[in-house]
Structure 1
Amino acid sequence: MRAVAIPVPGGPENLAVEPRPVPQPAPGEVLVQVAAAGVNRPDVLQRKGLYPPPPGASDIPGLEIAGTVAAAGDGAEHLLGQRVCALVTGGGYAEYCLAPSGTCLPIPEVLSPVQAAAMPETLFTVWINLFERGFAADGDAVLVHGGTSGIGTMAIRLGSLFGLTVIVTCGSAAKCDAALKLGATHAIDYSAQDFVAEVAHLTAGRGVAVVLDMVGGDYLPRNLQCLADDGRHVSIAFQRGPAAEIPIPDIMRRRLILTGSTLRGRDLAYKTMVADELARTVWPYVEGNRLTPVIDSTFPLEAAADAHRRMESGQHIGKIVLTT
């Protein structure tokens, strides 16, 4: 099979298409003939040598796929021949990829393979962090940074379905307009506005119940200023740095909760549990064509380097997807 490898860490030009043996499914696994694979920022970090795969995972990048089950290990035979999308720990940038049966979700007729491949990583991430760790509930106001990223656009779409007031930050007026068209309640242009002051204004001084943050660094203390009493701050990345100085007395006085998570290294039992929750609570919206991902662009497998350049440019709105 053809697969995108990283012979040497570095820039996008270091991605190389090379032949690899087709993997064989172990018990509980399926072999998916990949039609499309989502591109995510962890793939970029892995390419740079900053995010190695967890033990036992493929060295091929790619954390979400869509396609048809071509073979199945013991206990996963019921998925043979089915169209599925799946969360994987690696291997997605290839013509075939192994996936645990527990993280597979059926692709409804209303979704194309490209749309389906853009769902698992962002859907799992937003569900776990905004709703499970952040306890966002109907009527809550939430602040999501990176409003036009894959995570941001999924948070807008999912938050709108579950009754949230979704406030996002974006890097330009054009991106703010795009976020509002996608369903964000409010969009703040952080290049021209102070998002702390804007959140205070938009919430009449109350603040938001949850901040979903992928920025980190000096944003963290500013994020805390945006939280209402008993608010929750959820970290999922730290693009502006891994360290911050925070006011401990303010956290105590306002009973704030600081939490966060990573997904790739979590055990299969946990990911299967989340997939089951999504199948029950969110997938009916997908099947009813009420929840679809925002697709920015698609690239053939051979142009994975261009897909990474597109992501690193920061110009994308929604998901970037590779096709085989």
Structure 2
Amino acid sequence: MRKFLPETIPMSSSAPDQMSAIAIEGGKGPAEALKAVQIERPRPGPGQILIQVRAAGINRPDILQRLGAYPPPAGAPDTMGLEVAGEVVEAAGRWKVGDRVCALLGGGGYAEYAVCDARHALPIPQGLDFIQAAGLPETVFTVYANVFEHGGLKAGETLMVHGATSGIGVTAIQMGKAAGAKVIATARGAAKAASAKALGADIAVDATAEDFAQVARAEGGCDVILDMVGGDYFAKDLDAINTGGRIVFIASQGGGEVTLPIWRVMMKRAVITGSTLRPRDADEKARLAEVIERVVWPWIAAGKVRPPVDATFPLAEAAKAHAHLEGGTHVGKIVLTA
């Protein structure tokens, strides 16, 4: 059930010294590991803004951090949370107090307040509430950097998106279509494939029942594949791409080791690449933010990109939100409300 936060919230003259946040206190499962605690409110440094968080996106890297497999970069908070939406309460750069922003963080979004580099915040697009906006930064930055910069997707080309009903997947479908590409989406199960088609994919493949490489070849092949699965998908990716095609990895949920048939890569003139977002330096993230505001924000304003929110949970129920994400039934984003 969607829940909406009020769009106009009275601002206090000063933020409190303490705030609620979600800490990782040990254990592997979400209920054992995630606890609501009171911690000191962060203080913004030079060039940073303080945001009163109204909503925070949940992402799979948060689960990896909870499991101890994805530590925060140097200088980032130990608490999780890579994207938030809220209001500026201490300003810097182009922002003023009261501005409604969504922001990309190095961490610390599961809290009532968060700091970020002022250059990594973007205005909430017209017509979006805090919940919808909180699901934009991590996904949009990831898709743009990997599909459009590393993958070089162009209008008229064909994009294949694996994991099509994830937060990244639904965003990639819509951004690919907004850019004028044909989109083939893969998902596990007929219901998820149907959801991907409803979200705008031209072709949706149930990867549990169909060979996505055969489907791709029948459709003329793929120019770019966004792969968050890895493992045995890689061999089929090579079958599916056209000559000069690009395979871009952003995760390896199906296995991190693959066999690379060099001769086939040579014959296809294939480019195999991948990236992570969180470890990039502040200047690089600022560059991405500027490009995304110029290129992607007009797509959002035009209604071409508006990823769905599957579920919301109060901040104190972050463990339930993680369990929901790990359950794999969601279509779109899962968001915490502060």
Question: Residue 110 of structure 1 contacts residue 289 of structure 1 at CA under 8 Å; is this kept in 2?
Answer: no
Question: How far is 1:254 from its partner?
Answer: 1.7
Match of 2:238 in 1: 224
> Which amino acid in structure 1 is aligned with residue 69 of structure 2?
L
Q: What is the percent sequence identity of the aligned residues?
A: 48
Match of 1:286 in 2: 300
1:271-309, CA deviations, whole angstroms, 9 ceiling, x for partnerless residues? 100100011111122233332121101000011111101
Match of 1:320 in 2: 334
1:151-178, CA deviations, whole angstroms, 9 ceiling, x for partnerless residues? 1100111111111111011111111111
Tell me the TM-score normalized by structure 1: 0.96
Tell me, in whole angstroms, the C-alpha distance in 1 between the residues paired with 2:138 and 2:118: 16
1:129 to 146, 149, 156: 146
Tell me, in whole angstroms, the C-alpha distance in 1 between the residues paired with 2:198 and 2:95: 40
Instruction: Say whether 1:191 aligns with 2:208.
Output: yes
1:6 to 21, 24, 45: 24
1:86 to 98, 103, 112: 103
1:163-217, CA deviations, whole angstroms, 9 ceiling, x for partnerless residues? 11110111111111111111001000011111111111222xxx21011100112
> Which amino acid in structure 2 is aligned with residue 215 of structure 1?
V
Gaps of at least 5 residues in structure 1 are none
Tell me, in whole angstroms, the C-alpha distance in 1 between the residues paired with 2:126 and 2:77: 30
> Which amino acid in structure 2 is aligned with residue 20 of structure 1?
I
Tell me, in whole angstroms, the C-alpha distance in 2 between the residues paired with 1:99 and 1:220: 36
Match of 2:115 in 1: 98
Tell me, in whole angstroms, the C-alpha distance in 1 between the residues paired with 2:281 and 2:109: 18
Match of 2:3 in 1: none
> Which amino acid in structure 2 is aligned with residue 277 of structure 1?
V
Tell me, in whole angstroms, the C-alpha distance in 1 between the residues paired with 2:184 and 2:302: 25
Instruction: Say whether 1:157 aligns with 2:174.
Output: yes
Match of 2:72 in 1: 53
Question: How far is 1:241 from its partner?
Answer: 1.6
Question: How far is 1:108 from its partner?
Answer: 2.8
> 3-state DSSP class of the match of 1:153?
helix
Question: Residue 95 of structure 2 contacts residue 118 of structure 2 at CA under 8 Å; is this kept in 1?
Answer: no
Tell me, in whole angstroms, the C-alpha distance in 2 between the residues paired with 1:293 and 1:80: 28
Tell me the TM-score normalized by structure 2: 0.92
Instruction: Say whether 1:167 aligns with 2:184.
Output: yes
1:260 to 261, 269, 274: 274
Cα RMSD (Å) of the superposition? 1.1
Q: Which stretch has the larger CA shift, 116-125 or 283-292?
A: 283-292
Tell me, in whole angstroms, the C-alpha distance in 2 between the residues paired with 1:220 and 1:256: 12
Match of 2:51 in 1: 32
Q: How many residues align?
A: 319
Question: Residue 63 of structure 1 contacts residue 87 of structure 1 at CA under 8 Å; is this kept in 2?
Answer: yes
> 3-state DSSP class of the match of 1:85?
strand
Match of 1:148 in 2: 165
Tell me, in whole angstroms, the C-alpha distance in 1 between the residues paired with 2:262 and 2:114: 46
Gaps of at least 5 residues in structure 2 are 1-18
1:63 to 64, 72, 82: 82
> 3-state DSSP class of the match of 1:79?
coil
Question: Residue 85 of structure 2 contacts residue 133 of structure 2 at CA under 8 Å; is this kept in 1?
Answer: yes
Against the structure 1 CA distance between its residues 272 and 9, is the aligned structure 2 distance closer, same or farther, given a 3 Å change threshold? farther
Question: Residue 212 of structure 1 contacts residue 234 of structure 1 at CA under 8 Å; is this kept in 2?
Answer: yes
What stretches of structure 1 move > 4 A for 4+ residues in a row? none
Question: Residue 9 of structure 1 contacts residue 49 of structure 1 at CA under 8 Å; is this kept in 2?
Answer: no
> 3-state DSSP class of the match of 1:42?
helix
> Which amino acid in structure 2 is aligned with residue 66 of structure 1?
A
> 3-state DSSP class of the match of 2:46?
coil
> Which amino acid in structure 1 is aligned with residue 286 of structure 2?
T
> Which amino acid in structure 1 is aligned with residue 26 of structure 2?
V
Match of 1:305 in 2: 319
Tell me, in whole angstroms, the C-alpha distance in 2 between the residues paired with 1:236 and 1:78: 32
> Which amino acid in structure 1 is aligned with residue 84 of structure 2?
I
Question: Residue 21 of structure 2 contacts residue 110 of structure 2 at CA under 8 Å; is this kept in 1?
Answer: yes
Question: How far is 1:22 from its partner?
Answer: 0.7
Match of 1:20 in 2: 39
2:257 to 235, 243, 250: 243
